[in-house]
């Protein structure tokens, strides 16, 4: 028995040492190590941190009880972890992603899910949903305006979070999406975007959302993402090692 306890204690010490060593490794290198171990990008430590931080920011600024009974469509879901939070709160959630392997993974754990490429099909074409949950997907799209317009057709509420560029004017910066070991888990299209906050708010208003409320705050910050950044109108979308991000609640 004593030998077994020593073995367990030794294993725990080894795990603790490895965890501390992982924390001392720069973020990019840690991500590479986690991916090399077979983890999806959505299971990487920094990504799970971003999910928890973003949900904390959302729930700090909204009263979900007023949406009770509404059907939720989660888009660009990855493995559907954000939708899980709404499922746990009793909402009827359907999750979508542009990659079939992610949809299969969600279905394997009992989640209602189907493949949806947002650059090819609008959410107004796939059924009647009251809430669209779109966290971390807009900036991966080649046709962001079409996506927001489709949300305005069908959704009563759009919960929107994205990387943005620092520009006071309503503009979109077009970018090439990452490829290689990051590509398969991120964008479906090779083209992405970095819209300015002014562009997002203008486009959402034009899509039919009468109230477009910026709820970005430091609560949502994580290692590589910031919501409480200072606008300088430089056009940049990353600063000092973190991405510039924003979160909105849009309601018709």
Using the predicted structure, report yes or no on whether residue 34 has a pLDDT greater than 80. no
Residues 6+ apart with CB under 8 A from 212: 201, 204, 205, 248, 249, 250
- In this structure, are 58 and 23 located in the same domain? no
CA distances from 96 to 76, 87, 114, 248 (A): 6, 14, 5, 20
Distance between CA atoms of residues 203 and 131, nearest Å: 18
pTM: 0.85
- In this structure, are 2 and 77 located in the same domain? no
Mean pLDDT estimate for the chain: 87
Q: 17 lies in which domain range? A: 1-38
Max avg pLDDT among 4-8, 34-38, 170-174: 170-174
Using alpha carbons only, give the angle 207, 60, 109 rounded to the nearest 5 degrees.
80
CB 201 within 8 A of CB 168: no
- In this structure, are 106 and 3 located in the same domain? no
- In this structure, are 77 and 167 located in the same domain? yes
- In this structure, are 12 and 52 located in the same domain? no
**What's the pLDDT band for 247 if we cut at 50, 70, 90?**
very high
Q: Burial of 109 by CB count in 10 Å (0-12 exposed, 13-18 middle, 19+ buried)?
A: exposed
Estimate to the nearest angstrom the gap between the alpha carbon of 144 and the chain centroid. Answer: 15
CB 223 within 8 A of CB 70: no
pLDDT in tens, 173-226: 999 987 765 555 578 889 999 999 999 999 999 999 999 999 999 999 999 999
Range 68-84 average pLDDT: 97
pLDDT in tens, 54-65: 999 999 999 999
CA distances from 74 to 141, 160, 208, 237 (A): 15, 11, 20, 25
């Amino acid at each position: 028995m004593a030998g077994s306890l020593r073995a367990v204690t030794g294993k725990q010490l080894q795990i603790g040492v490895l965890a501390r060593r992982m924390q001392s490794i720069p973020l990019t290198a840690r991500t590479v190590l986690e991916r090399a171990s077979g983890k999806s990008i959505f299971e990487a430590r920094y990504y799970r941190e971003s999910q928890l931080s973003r949900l904390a920011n959302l729930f700090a600024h909204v009263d979900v009880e007023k949406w009770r009974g509404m059907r939720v469509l989660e888009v660009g879901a990855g493995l559907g972890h954000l939708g899980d939070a709404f499922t746990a709160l009793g909402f009827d959630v359907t999750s979508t992603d542009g990659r079939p392997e992610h949809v299969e993974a969600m279905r394997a754990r009992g989640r209602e899910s189907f493949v949806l490429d947002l650059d090819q099909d609008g959410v107004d074409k796939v059924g009647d949903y009251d809430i669209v949950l779109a966290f971390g997907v807009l900036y991966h799209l080649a046709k962001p305006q079409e996506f927001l317009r489709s949300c305005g057709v069908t959704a009563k509420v759009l919960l929107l979070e994205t990387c943005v560029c620092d520009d006071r004017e309503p503009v979109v910066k077009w970018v090439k999406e990452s490829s290689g070991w990051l590509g398969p888990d991120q964008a479906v299209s090779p083209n992405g975007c970095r819209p300015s906050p002014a562009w997002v708010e203008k486009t959402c208003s034009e899509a039919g959302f009468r109230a477009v409320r910026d709820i970005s705050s430091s609560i949502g910050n994580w290692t590589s993402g910031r919501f409480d950044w200072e606008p300088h109108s430089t056009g940049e979308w990353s600063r000092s090692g973190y991405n510039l991000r924003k979160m909105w609640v849009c309601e018709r």
